[in-house]
Structure 1
Amino acid sequence: MVQLSRICFRKYANFVDNLRLYVAGGSGGMGLPRLGGQGGDGGDVWVMASKNMTLKKIKEKYPHKRFIGGIGANSSVRALKGERGEDREISAPVGIIVTTDNGKVLGELNAEGDRLKVAKGGHGGSFHSSFEPKKGQVKQIRLDLKLIADLGLVGFPNAGKSSLLMAVSNATPQIANYAFTTLKPEIGKVMYKDYKQISVADLPGLIEGAHINKGMGHKFLKHVERTKQLLFVVDVSGFQLASKTPFRSAFEAVQLLTKELELYKEELVSKPALLVVNKMDLPDAEEKLAELKEQLQNPDEFSDLLPDDMKPKNFLSFRHVVPVSALTGFGIEHLKSCIRESLDESAETISKAIHQERLQTLRHLSH
């Protein structure tokens, strides 16, 4: 029996799918009692969807993650109605859910240009408030990338992704012995004895050049962003998309998949990833698996096998490399265990990071 190969634990650090922010509406301006003047209202804080934005960019550009609306102008003899404070706008990626820190959903941003007010500015001072201004709303909010699944299956056509999804879950995707069978994401649920459920999405097959929108490139890659982790699937014997296209070994397929993800959005390859080596029921599968493992352990030594335009900037190291046969069921239970372990490890890492962030926020506010 082929044993699990565990290759280099990868840190869940670079890809950001959720972010906590401090937002506060601006304070209103003072009213002018002797002339009945009214101060300007404080500015609001908005979140707006922008196609080119990522949560990681927000984190890097605004390390303190504090967004405060402008203060309303005081009323004066020259201007009895003070000017309103400037609104503060946070550009965020399309496809996020905005919640308060206690889990209340404030809204979703599903299309370019969608806007959501997350903190209202305070009213300016007037006769009704004894000319004293009000402070703006203060909130801790979360921006969460909406996920279609816990894991996304990544592989070239005919790697056996649909068969694998059917073997590990309750999904019944269309299966056929030709490329491009999967035309839209198929979601399956992996069930465990303790009633835990993990969602897995079989995504439309990549082809070379997907990053420049060949085939269904951008549609596929957009879905990849909406999964917590990646499950690479390769045919142990390699693949050839068509008679006029070059044959790719399993090692080349892994690197080409990595390259396509990297060219579309480099942070995608920072997600935790597992590698499934499928079709272990084929002749010579054991020898080809051993060769692939050696190449993955020392990718730099075998990089000459790849054309320059196929070489990723960084070779991926997988949390688990799992040989299976979706046809016979070999390795499927072991794969389900590895999936569970990988997701549990990431959840624990994220939980610790959020706890540390909360402590830092409390320390900052106390000062």
Structure 2
Amino acid sequence: MVWCCRVLLRKYGNYVDNLRVLVKGGSGGMGLPRLGGEGGKGGDVWMVATKDVTLKSVKDRFPNKRFLAGVGHNSSVYELKGTHGETCQIDVPTGITITTDDGFKIGELDKEGDRILVAGGGHGGRFKTNFLPSQGQKRILRLDMKLIADIGLVGFPNAGKSSLLSKLSHATPQIADYAFTTVKPELGTIMYADYKQISVADLPGLIEGAHMNRGMGHKFLKHIERTKQLLFVVDVAGFQLSSNTLYRTAFETVQLLIKELELYNKELLDKPALLAVNKLDLPNAEDKWQELLKQLENPKEYLDLLPDELVPENPIEFKHILPISAATGQGVEALISCIRKSLDQQADLDIKALSQERLQSLHTESYRPVKKAPKLVRHKH
């Protein structure tokens, strides 16, 4: 078991989902006072979302993590207006959020080809600056990888998320019967008969206290911020991480997962959510499934029996609750259909909301008061 833990830690160490870098725009070039020459502008630093790039490859290729643009050329007798300094382009993966060291968000790069200016070059020296150039912008930035997927699997370790992902899609995640098999995000794609594709992300399992960054806390939770919908996966028999931790029933597990999301970011609870109750192939699973279904139909009657730390302020109303067995494939086809239906419904609602916004905007524009032209007053002569 000790050997397994070492392998997992080493594997996780090879996965990089955040990076801290220094970027600096080039200084401007000197002006030429006696001829009124203007120095060239310093080069800018841009980040560009590029295919087949990872934060690990950026880190390996640029171990010092410093990115400097070229300085602007000085003005001279032969070149009164100095040329611009060389631009520095940093190829980064899609799904990147860029923030300054003090937490100010600069922007996001969500799709291939997106680009953003992260450090401007200094101006060249000219008459109004007494022909002295300015320095380029210097910043320390944090690059944070947040997975983009249609569906994010949410569950405690060993709930069967990896097995479910392999059944839902062509992904081949590592699967074993011990906790924390998934130590980095895994992406799969559900293919439908009409060629519709839906991306599904299996994320590292939560533990109690994940919102306080225990275990893989924030490394997990940040990824579901950019998924469209959530798919909770719970073991019908409940969950216990180890002999030193409390046993949680399936109902308690659901509430605890909701609570962890709520404490990390309440906005996550606004996402549409589905619930898959796994391992229905195990003995006595049917009785436990019926008990859980009864509790979920009338949660208020049972929430009072839970400790305060387990009770979420805003319980989730699941769009679909399905019994499945990722091991045997029971209920998986029904789940695939529900995922498609739920996402299609959300897309329709988004389109209607956008249409209403546009209509409201047009309505406001049409009733905007128009200034009347002044009346012409004819004077009698």
Q: Could you say whether these structures have the same fold, taking a TM-score greater than 0.5 normalized by the shorter chain as the test?
A: yes
What one-letter code is carried by the residue in structure 2 that aligns with 1:254?
V
- Per the TM alignment, residue 98 of structure 1 is displaced from its structure 2 partner at its CA by 8.4
5+ long unaligned stretches in structure 2: 1-102, 121-144, 369-381
Cα RMSD after superposing both structures: 2.4
TM-score, normalised relative to structure 2: 0.60
Q: Which residue of 1 aligns with 2:210?
A: 210
Equivalent runs, 1:1-367 vs 2, <5 Å: 96-97=108-109, 107=115, 148-366=148-366, 367=368
Q: Distance in 2 between matches of 1:264 and 1:180?
A: 20
- Per the TM alignment, residue 304 of structure 1 is displaced from its structure 2 partner at its CA by 3.0
Q: Distance in 2 between matches of 1:179 and 1:93?
A: 35
Q: Distance in 1 between matches of 2:282 and 2:176?
A: 18
Q: Is the 8 A contact 1:326 1:332 kept in 2?
A: yes
Q: Distance in 2 between matches of 1:223 and 1:106?
A: 20
Larger RCO (CA within 8 A; separation ≥ 6): 1
Q: Is the 8 A contact 1:182 1:205 kept in 2?
A: yes
TM-score, normalised relative to structure 1: 0.62
- Per the TM alignment, residue 292 of structure 1 is displaced from its structure 2 partner at its CA by 0.4
Q: Which residue of 2 aligns with 1:126?
A: none
Q: Distance in 2 between matches of 1:333 and 1:181?
A: 25
Q: Distance in 2 between matches of 1:255 and 1:94?
A: 35
Q: Distance in 2 between matches of 1:298 and 1:147?
A: 34
Question: What secondary structure is seen at the aligned counterpart in 2 of 1:293?
Answer: helix
- Per the TM alignment, residue 352 of structure 1 is displaced from its structure 2 partner at its CA by 0.5
Going from structure 1 to structure 2, the CA distance change for 1:258 and 1:361 (only over 3 Å counts) comes to: same
Q: Distance in 2 between matches of 1:273 and 1:115?
A: 40
What one-letter code is carried by the residue in structure 1 that aligns with 2:249?
S
Q: Distance in 1 between matches of 2:146 and 2:248?
A: 34
Going from structure 1 to structure 2, the CA distance change for 1:224 and 1:106 (only over 3 Å counts) comes to: closer
Q: Distance in 1 between matches of 2:353 and 2:246?
A: 44
Question: What secondary structure is seen at the aligned counterpart in 1 of 2:188?
Answer: strand
Going from structure 1 to structure 2, the CA distance change for 1:106 and 1:243 (only over 3 Å counts) comes to: closer
Question: What secondary structure is seen at the aligned counterpart in 1 of 2:296?
Answer: helix
Q: Is the 8 A contact 2:232 2:274 kept in 1?
A: yes
- Name the count of aligned residue pairs: 241
Q: Which residue of 1 aligns with 2:22?
A: none
Going from structure 1 to structure 2, the CA distance change for 1:146 and 1:185 (only over 3 Å counts) comes to: closer
What one-letter code is carried by the residue in structure 1 that aligns with 2:247?
F
Which structure has the bigger radius of gyration? 2
- Per the TM alignment, residue 92 of structure 1 is displaced from its structure 2 partner at its CA by 8.6
Q: Distance in 1 between matches of 2:182 and 2:318?
A: 25
Q: Distance in 2 between matches of 1:324 and 1:270?
A: 25
Q: What percent of counterpart residues are identical? A: 65
- Per the TM alignment, residue 93 of structure 1 is displaced from its structure 2 partner at its CA by 5.6
Going from structure 1 to structure 2, the CA distance change for 1:218 and 1:336 (only over 3 Å counts) comes to: same
